[in-house]
Structure 1
Amino acid sequence: MSTLQMSLAVAGGLVLLAIIIHSAWTTRRNAPKQADPAAVDGAAPEAEPGERQEPGFDGDSLVSDDTEPRLDAMPLPSLERRPGLDALIDSIVPMTLENLVSGDAALAALPPTRRAGSKPFAIEGRNDATGHWETPAAGQRYRAFQAGVQLANRTGALNDIEYSEFVVKAQAFADAVNAAADFPDMRDEVARARELDQFASDHDAQLAFVLRARGAAWSPGYLQQNASRMGFVAGTIPGRMALPAATVGMPAILSLSFDTQAALAEDPAQSAIRDVALSLDVAQVLRTEQPFQRLREISSALAAAMDGVVTDQNGQPLREESLDNIGMDLEKLYDTLDGRDLSAGSVQARRLFA
């Protein structure tokens, strides 16, 4: 082989090697960012996901997030009124009794479903021993009952059909326990429901920031690792994480969501995630948690750590001035909810805005 041929062969080999190296570098640069194995031990531990429950009438089950809270803290009684039926958001029917009724008889007479249409429905009894209203329980005796149906929620106002279904169920219970039921006028209750629904519609705020990748996409593991450092824990649904509240039993402060298919992929490390949603359901979270401030801080910190940019849902970057204005509007909203006795994070607000 001549010197020229050898030179050409060497040059060709170098060019091929350069192409291979460039291709590998490009592939590596464009591959989804992966979690740092060395940082796993230092990352925030993932909590066992809890069962999501819709806010309801029972005080011990008023949970509206899909994770267990991370901290044990005292509740805030100033914001927590009695968790049962409330004339503020329920249409209530008193039922008088001539004789005491056992809890077992009341349980046997309860309707099979706890809804009238799309509205929660409940029956409570006044415990003869304690004098407190409660969900009927075996072994107790009751001197009176009351039935209630929620006037409004995010599905809309209580309508004529739903109220009629409520009347049928409540009357059947009253007949079974030999109680006299005093039903309010349907037109008045439906009118109350519409007014409450209008108020709720005018003051329902759900905020969503979008965190978008500037360069390389993120793998699910990389995203989860960074989010866990901010206090998020995995939810029961793939692609969902939540920032637990400090108070036991309260809804999550913030939620984080990304493509479910990416989370369920056979090889999640190769799944490419380019945007993540960070959400705040204002009425569900206590004002004292400062949820909007935490949303701002966490989204900014994640953007810095993951080389991303925070935008609105239309892809427009969120400026500090715009965020300040949102914060001021939220303070006014909190004041309005407080004035209506529907403080954000209260039992009543969580039921109404559910």
Structure 2
Amino acid sequence: MSGFTLGVALLGGLVLASLVGYNAWISRRNSPRQPAGVGTASLEPVQPREPVFDAEPTLPPVERKPPLDALIDAIAPIAIEGVVTGDAAIAALPPTRRAGSKPFAVEGLNEGTQQWEPPRAGQRYTAFQAGVQLANRTGHLNEIEFSEFVIKAQQFADAINGSPDFPDMLNEVGRGRELDQFAGDHDAQLSITLRAKNAAWSPGYVQQGAARLGFVPGVIPGRLVMPASMAGQPPVLVINFDTQAALAEDPTQSALREFTLSLDVPQVHRSEQPFVRMRDAAIALAASMEGIIADDKGDVIRAEALDLIGSHLEKLYDILEARDLAAGSAQARRLFS
């Protein structure tokens, strides 16, 4: 082989090697980032650990379900003669616990504890009350829903030989309308989007980054939650990303360009410092994952803007507390649901 031919062959080989190397580099650059210690093998499935409401573990302490509250419920006392057993009361309950779109509940006055509670087997009750919620995020209690409440409560009362005393419908509907107006003016559900600057992220990479900040897998694929300090309460913060990416046969090949970090303000106690944790989590995740913080329109959110949002929220917390609907309280969680 002549020197010229050999040189051309060597040059061609170098060009080919360069192209192969360049393509490999491009491929690595464009492939989703993986969590540390994960190669091409599929991620091991993770058992969801999202808190289940009304669960009763020994630790941490659990917030018990409160009784009906005249602040957010229309309540009908039900007088009875003598005592009714919990088993009889349970058998008399309606099959559904809703009147239209509003929660419906029956509670009994426990003979032993003198506390209002949902009927329990083996207990004895000296009085009952039925209630329907005045408003929630679907709107205020209307006349049709109030009528359904009356029918359900009357049927229960008849089954236990009780006598209900219903409040005035127009008054209760009016209270529901006013409460709904207040709730609509003071509801706040915040959402921040984190977008990848360069390389996309795999679901495992997002999960690993979020885990360092206290997030755990939720019960829904593509959902991570930061648990509240008290069991049985809603999570402090939630991360959501594409469900299909989370369910892919090989999650390491799923490419995520963004995910959302959200806070349902009325659902979380002020003492949890939820917005401070949301702001800090967004900044930390953006820094560690080479992402940017944006709003739902795609505009970049800067740290100063986040601080301004935080100051506005402090005023909202004060207003809710003044109305006896403090964020994270049982009443606020019911109203803003």
- The TM-score normalised by the length of structure 2 is 0.94
Q: Is 1:177 aligned with 2:160? A: yes
* Alpha-carbon distance in 1 for matches of 2:331, 2:119: 21
Equivalent AA in structure 2 for residue 29 of structure 1: R
Which position in structure 1 is the counterpart of 2:26?
A: 26
Task: Tell me how many residue pairs correspond in the alignment.
Answer: 331
Aligned 8 A contact 2:222 2:243 in 1 = yes
Which position in structure 1 is the counterpart of 2:133?
A: 150
Relative distance call for 1:245 and 1:158 in structure 2 (3 A) is: same
Specify which of 261, 283, 302 is matched with residue 266 of structure 2.
283
Alpha-carbon shift at residue 139 of structure 1 (Å): 2.1
Alpha-carbon shift at residue 141 of structure 1 (Å): 1.9
What SS does structure 2 have at the residue aligned with 1:238?
A: coil
Percent identical among aligned pairs is: 61
Specify which of 290, 309, 312 is matched with residue 292 of structure 2.
309
Relative distance call for 1:261 and 1:48 in structure 2 (3 A) is: closer
Alpha-carbon shift at residue 50 of structure 1 (Å): 4.5
Q: What is the CA deviation profile of residues 182-217 of structure 1, one whole-angstrom value per residue up to 9, with x for unaligned ones? A: 111111111110110111111110000111000000
Aligned 8 A contact 2:76 2:165 in 1 = yes
Which position in structure 1 is the counterpart of 2:10?
A: 10
Relative distance call for 1:216 and 1:138 in structure 2 (3 A) is: same
Q: Is 1:193 aligned with 2:176? A: yes
Specify which of 248, 256, 259 is matched with residue 273 of structure 1.
256
Alpha-carbon shift at residue 347 of structure 1 (Å): 0.4
Specify which of 145, 149, 163 is matched with residue 166 of structure 1.
149
Where do 5+ consecutive residues of structure 2 fail to align?
Answer: 39-45
What SS does structure 2 have at the residue aligned with 1:218?
A: coil
Which position in structure 2 is the counterpart of 1:42?
A: none
Q: What is the CA deviation profile of residues 77-129 of structure 1, one whole-angstrom value per residue up to 9, with x for unaligned ones? A: xxx89711000000000111122222222111111111111111111111122
Which position in structure 2 is the counterpart of 1:110?
A: 93
Alpha-carbon shift at residue 177 of structure 1 (Å): 1.1
Where do 5+ consecutive residues of structure 1 fail to align?
Answer: 39-45, 54-60
* Alpha-carbon distance in 1 for matches of 2:188, 2:149: 29
Specify which of 232, 243, 253 is matched with residue 215 of structure 2.
232
Alpha-carbon shift at residue 9 of structure 1 (Å): 1.2
- The TM-score normalised by the length of structure 1 is 0.89
* Alpha-carbon distance in 1 for matches of 2:91, 2:210: 48
Q: Moved runs in structure 1, 4+ residues, more than 2 A?
A: 46-53, 71-75
TM-align CA RMSD: 2.0
Specify which of 89, 101, 112 is matched with residue 129 of structure 1.
112
Aligned 8 A contact 2:51 2:232 in 1 = no
Specify which of 295, 300, 323 is matched with residue 278 of structure 2.
295
* Alpha-carbon distance in 2 for matches of 1:222, 1:229: 11
Aligned 8 A contact 1:233 1:241 in 2 = yes
Alpha-carbon shift at residue 73 of structure 1 (Å): 5.0
* Alpha-carbon distance in 1 for matches of 2:7, 2:81: 111
